[in-house]
Structure 1
Amino acid sequence: MINSAKFTERLQKVIDYYGETASSFSEKIGVQRSSISHILSGRNKPSLDFVMKVLHTYPEVELYWLMNGKGEFPSKPKISESPNSNLPKPELKSKIQKSNSDSEIEKIVIFYKDGTFKSFNP
């Protein structure tokens, strides 16, 4: 079971860490200002939706730390736990090739450190 008073302290720590006010924090995570006020005052307990919005907006916040104080905040990046951590890391080589004027770009792919990517077709 969650200790509401301790949860409130941890939530306030997150708000303070990012230099937010309750209003700006509520706006960033997409909840009404009154929701933050009621949770911080102890009137209401946080919903699962509320917790997930905090975790989605602030990835440095760990679920177990926020819920029961276990772990640390801000979390340290865990490279070994990334979705592609078991894949061999390709060697990066910088090559400049002379472009053929008849060549066309087929696709541009941008890879992010979190294992996600975006693909663009011109």
Structure 2
Amino acid sequence: MVERIRQLIEYAGLSSSQFADGIEVPRAILSHILSGRNKPSLDVILKVLSNYRTINPDWLLLGEGDMLTKIATPANTVIPETIAEPVTKFDEIAGEVINGKVQNEVTAETVKLPALKEDKVVKQIVFFYTDNTFSVFNPEV
């Protein structure tokens, strides 16, 4: 499992200190895990999985399957490239949650998404913030 944690750190493009800070684990604990002195505790594993939701738990725990979870899509469905790429301008879309709904300020720059097919409706939008928190927006239909 130590080698898979190393792979995850490399995949995330972080130093071990940045990774430890990101998952809110003391740097010394991560250092001891990476050196082989200690094995990862359940708490550390849960923090990794909760901060890196795209990581396949079977891969991290057992070394089985691919590193990243696969997004289930119906057969013959093509995901447009503009949707598949992550949006990186979350700081410009900051808002507060009121009664379970995110209230956004109008910003000068709007993120452009491709038009959806007529039979598709947005179900949920999740905003991830740099402090590792998130807000969920469920638009009314």
Q: TM-score range by the shorter chain?
A: 0.5 to 0.7
Gaps of 5+ in 1: 1-6, 81-89, 94-108
Give runs of ≥4 in structure 1 deviating > 4 Å: none
Gaps of 5+ in 2: 75-117, 127-134
Give the drift of 1:119. 5.6
8 Å Cα contact 1:11/1:66 also seen in 2:
yes
Label 1:110 to 1:60 Cα distance change in 2 as closer, same or farther (>3 A): closer
Give the drift of 1:74. 2.2
| Greater strand proportion | 2
Label 1:92 to 1:70 Cα distance change in 2 as closer, same or farther (>3 A): closer
1:91 corresponds in structure 2 to: 119
1:48 corresponds in structure 2 to: 42
- Map Cα deviations across residues 17-73 of structure 1 (whole Å, 9 max, x no partner): 010100000011000001110001111111111101101111121111111101111
The one-letter code of the counterpart of 1:111 is Q
The one-letter code of the counterpart of 1:70 is E
Secondary structure of 2:53's counterpart equals: coil
Secondary structure of 1:44's counterpart equals: coil
Query: Is 1:69 aligned to residue 69 of structure 2?
Result: no
Structure with larger RCO (C-alpha < 8 A, sep 6+): 1
Label 1:39 to 1:60 Cα distance change in 2 as closer, same or farther (>3 A): same
**Fraction of identical pairs, as percent:** 38
1:21 corresponds in structure 2 to: 15
Query: Is 1:57 aligned to residue 51 of structure 2?
Result: yes
8 Å Cα contact 2:125/2:138 also seen in 1:
no
1:78 corresponds in structure 2 to: 72
The one-letter code of the counterpart of 1:61 is I
Larger Rg: 1
Alpha carbon RMSD of aligned pairs, Å?
Answer: 2.8
**Count of equivalent residues:** 88
Distance in 2 (CA, whole Å) between partners of 1:79 and 1:38 is: 40
TM-score by length of 2: 0.54
